[in-house]
Amino acid sequence: MIRNGKLKDKYILDIDLDYFHTKRSIVPSNPKTFYQLIQGAEIITIAKESSWINEWAKTERYDKELTVDYLLNELLNHINVATK
């Protein structure tokens, strides 16, 4: 349930790294909403999805710098910032 623009029920935030296809998607100009989701979560799970990311890295349209390690480090940085 949403009250005053915030989720009030308990939830698990499940993040799959293969959702992020660009640097801008993992490092948005305004991460406010993402941080609110992180702050409100009871638990955060992260699926690295290494096989999907490695497959996408073979395509011409995929940014070669978006490795599993890069995405995971950026995501953990967001979690650290949001929970301070």
Inside any domain, residue 24? yes
Is residue 49 within 8 A of residue 17, CB to CB? The reply is: yes
What local confidence, expressed as pLDDT, does residue 7 receive? 66
Report pLDDT digits (tens) over 10-67: 899 999 998 888 888 899 999 999 999 999 999 999 999 888 887 877 776 777 778 8
Q: How many domains does the chain have?
A: 1
The confidence score (pLDDT) of residue 79 equals 98
In a domain, 9, yes or no: no
Q: Which of 59, 61, 51 is nearest to 22 (CA)?
A: 61
Q: Would 7 be classed as within a structural domain?
A: no
Note whether residue 73 is domain-resident. Answer: yes
pLDDT for the residue 42: 95
The residue segments making up the domain with residue 36 are 16-82
Contacts of 22 (CB under 8 A, 6+ apart): 63, 66
Residue 21 confidence (pLDDT): 84
